[in-house]
């Protein structure tokens, strides 16, 4: 009989808290968006599913051994941990968790060992998060794979499109200002680190956003990653109105001159030049852009096909599965269900809009002074969100003029945007990291 009661009292239903129920619903919503609406499914399917797993009551998949022991353990275990952390027996769980967070090496290890001895383990998702994100490895490996998938040909054929990739990053910094502004007004409560991490959403670059958030604001990582990927998926909806607003019909009609042929040698030199430049000017961007250049060099050098192929397929897929589930493990109700998340979603949207606008305006400006015509529509591709943003530019170009194929021209600013936001990330890490 007691077994029956145990079974019931330890069931999910009995222990389900409202927050968990809501977060499970959020997870299902993300799955719906990914599967039915095709919102970045490669990331949002694992993230959504991970979010559901993380909110299963009593399973503790997203918690460390100590957290699980404190939640599920009997008083003797809890007291043992309290003492391991230098508190007196009978301290309440909140206090113990706080002490655990700020404990020094010895007592930290003692607490962990105590929990393990009492037969509590790290949750699966907690382990995945530690290995893939806390170590910083997963976003970097994905960036390597992205580098191996990136063709810098269009950028090399027309290097000044790099300016568009620069302009579009204004969205990032404007958002930072917005975040601190809202805090100053007392509407939100973000530290400068939080603000910086939120701003990077405007970079429209998933791995960069996750990498920065893991360094500057791990507690916001879930919301930031979700916002970043959702808005990247929404690019086809967010950008067109802004682009139409800022350009005239005649500007959109503008055809650009055929891109010159780019030699293999140039493509091999480019990642090395970029690497050296980063090394000399901004070491803090070296991990991100270093791995990106490494992937691109493997792609272009032509002598390591099998490595490049693995980096673009088996490896990036494996890492994506773990990264997605790990991000999902951060979708806990206490961290996700608060006003800040709303703020993050709002600010992320603003960041995208401003970035798009600045890209377009910059393109208009350049068109004034450029010898060859530059269609302002390609400016919006500077936010990156490869390759959707470029496709959007192409689509609007064709609407205005059926002969106007902008895709290749938009790929330049598109990949420039990836570099731009990685540089911006480096600056953030340097200044507030």
Partner 1 sequence: MEATNLINEGLTLMVFGMGFVFVFLTLLVFITGMMSRLVERFIPEPQPVLATAAPAPVAATDDGQLVAVISAAIKQYRSRHPR
Say whether residue 286 binds a copy of itself (CB under 8 A).
yes
417 binds Na ion (CB under 5 A): yes
Shortest approach of Na ion to residue 180 CB, angstroms?
Answer: 21
State yes or no: residue 263 binds partner 1 (CB under 8 A).
Answer: yes
From 1-9, 26-34, 75-83, 409-417, span contacting Na ion (CB under 5 A): 409-417
Looking at residue 11, what DSSP letter applies? S
Q: What phi and psi, each to the nearest 5 degrees, are found at residue 87? A: -90, 165
Q: Helix (H, G, I), strand (E, B), or coil: what is residue 413?
A: helix
Mark 298-327 with x for binding to partner 1 (rule: CB under 8 A) and - for no binding: ----xxxxxx-x---x--xx--x-------
Q: Which is nearer to Na ion, 201 or 374 (CB)?
A: 201
Distances (CA, A) of 344 to 54, 189, 340, 415: 21, 11, 6, 25
Q: Does 192 bind a copy of itself (CB under 8 A)?
A: no
Stretch of 39-47, 62-70, 201-209, 417-425 contacting a copy of itself, by CB under 8 A: 39-47
If binding is defined by CB under 8 A, does position 269 make contact with partner 1? yes
> Beta-carbon neighbour count of residue 248 at 10 Å?
12
159 contact, one of Na ion, a copy of itself, partner 1, none, CB 5-8 Å limit per kind: partner 1
Smaller CB separation from a copy of itself, 75 or 302 = 302
58 counts as binding a copy of itself under rule CB under 8 A: yes
CB of 251 to a copy of itself, least distance (A): 36
Q: How far is CA 336 from CA 27, 342, 397, in A?
A: 12, 9, 39
- Please tell me what DSSP assigns to residue 200: G
Applying CB under 5 A, which part among 18-26, 48-56, 287-295, 412-420 lies near Na ion?
A: 412-420
Which residues within the stretch 404-433 sit at the binding site for a copy of itself (CB under 8 A)?
A: 430-431, 433
Q: Is the peptide bond before 387 cis (omega within 30 degrees of 0)?
A: yes
Query: By rule CB under 8 A, what string of x and - marks binding of each residue 130-159 to a copy of itself?
Result: -----xxx--x-------------------
Q: What gap in Å lies between CA 291 and CA 310, rounded to an integer?
A: 15
Question: Any idea what DSSP says for residue 168?
Answer: T
C-beta closer to partner 1: residue 160 or 219? 160
Q: Is 428 in the site for partner 1 (CB under 8 A)?
A: yes
Considering the complex, state which of residue 87 and residue 410 has its C-beta at the smaller distance from partner 1.
410
x/- string (CB under 8 A) for partner 1, residues 333-372? Answer: ----------------------------------------
- Binding residues for partner 1, rule CB under 8 A, total 78
3-state helix, strand, coil split of the chain in percent (to 5) is 80, 0, 20
Q: Does residue 4 interact with partner 1 by CB under 8 A?
A: yes
Q: Under 8 Å CB-to-CB from 243, ≥6 apart: which residues?
A: 356, 360, 376, 377, 380, 392, 393, 396
Stretch of 62-70, 242-250, 255-263, 320-328 contacting a copy of itself, by CB under 8 A:
320-328
Among 149, 156, 192, 321, binds a copy of itself (CB under 8 A): 321
Contact letters for partner 1, residues 101-140 (x by CB under 8 A): ----------------------------------------
Q: What DSSP state is assigned to residue 130?
A: I
Q: How far is the CB of 135 from a copy of itself (least distance, A)?
A: 6
- DSSP code per residue over 23-46: HHHHHHHHHHHHHTS-SSHHHHHH
State the alpha helices, DSSP H only, in 192-313: 192-199, 206-216, 221-246, 249-253, 264-281, 286-301, 305-312
304 lines the binding site for a copy of itself (CB under 8 A)? yes
What string of DSSP letters covers 73-129? S-HHHHHHHHHHTTPPTT--HHHHHHHHHT--HHHHHHHHHHHHHTT----HHHHHH
Annotate each residue in 93-132 with x if it binds a copy of itself (CB under 8 A) or - if it does not, as one string: -----------xxx-xxx-xxx--x-x-x--x--x-----
Q: Helices 264-281 and 286-301 sit at what angle, rounded to 10 degrees? A: 170
Using CB under 5 A as the binding rule, the residues of this chain from 202 to 241 that contact Na ion are 203-205
Beta carbons within 8 Å of 397's beta carbon, 6+ residues apart: 252, 375, 377, 404, 405, 406
């Amino acid at each position: 009989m007691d077994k029956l009661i145990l079974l019931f009292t330890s069931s999910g239903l009995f222990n389900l808290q409202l927050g968990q129920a809501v977060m499970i619903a959020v997870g299902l919503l993300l799955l719906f968006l990914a599967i039915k609406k095709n919102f970045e499914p490669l990331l949002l399917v694992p993230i959504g599913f991970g979010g559901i797993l993380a909110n299963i009551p009593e399973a503790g998949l997203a918690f460390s051994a100590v957290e699980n022991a404190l939640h599920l353990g009997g008083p003797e275990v809890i007291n043992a941990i309290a003492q391991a952390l230098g508190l007196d027996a009978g301290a309440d769980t909140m206090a113990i968790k706080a002490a655990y967070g700020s404990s020094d090496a010895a007592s930290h290890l003692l607490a962990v060992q105590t929990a393990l001895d009492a037969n509590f383990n790290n949750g699966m998702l907690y382990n995945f998060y530690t290995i893939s994100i806390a170590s910083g490895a997963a976003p970097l490996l994905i960036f390597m794979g992205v580098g191996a998938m990136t063709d810098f040909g269009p950028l090399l054929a027309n290097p000044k499109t790099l300016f568009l990739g620069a302009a579009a990053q204004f969205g990032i910094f404007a958002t930072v200002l917005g975040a601190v502004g809202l805090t100053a007004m007392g509407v939100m409560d973000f530290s400068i680190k939080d603000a910086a991490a939120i701003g990077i959403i405007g970079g429209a670059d998933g791995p960069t956003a996750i990498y920065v958030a893991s360094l500057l604001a791990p507690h916001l990582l879930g919301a930031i990653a979700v916002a970043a990927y959702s808005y990247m998926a929404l690019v086809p909806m967010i950008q067109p109105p802004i682009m139409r607003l800022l350009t005239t019909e005649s500007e959109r009609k503008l055809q650009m001159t055929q891109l010159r042929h780019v030699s293999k040698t140039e493509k091999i030199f480019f990642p090395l030049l970029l690497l050296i430049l980063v090394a000399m000017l901004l070491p803090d961007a070296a991990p991100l852009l270093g791995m990106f250049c490494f992937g691109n060099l493997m792609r272009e050098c032509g002598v390591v096909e099998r490595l490049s192929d693995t980096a673009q397929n088996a490896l990036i897929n494996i890492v994506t599965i773990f990264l997605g589930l790990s991000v999902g493990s951060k979708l806990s109700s206490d961290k996700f269900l608060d006003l800040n998340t709303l703020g993050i979603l709002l600010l992320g949207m603003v960041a995208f809009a401003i970035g798009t606008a600045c890209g377009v305006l910059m393109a208009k400006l350049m068109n004034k002074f450029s010898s060859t015509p530059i269609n302002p529509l390609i400016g919006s591709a500077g936010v990156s969100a490869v390759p959707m943003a470029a496709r959007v530019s192409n689509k609007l170009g064709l609407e205005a003029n059926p002969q106007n194929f902008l895709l290749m021209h938009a790929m330049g600013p598109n990949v420039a945007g990836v570099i731009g936001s990685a540089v911006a990330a480096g600056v953030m890490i340097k200044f507030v990291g």
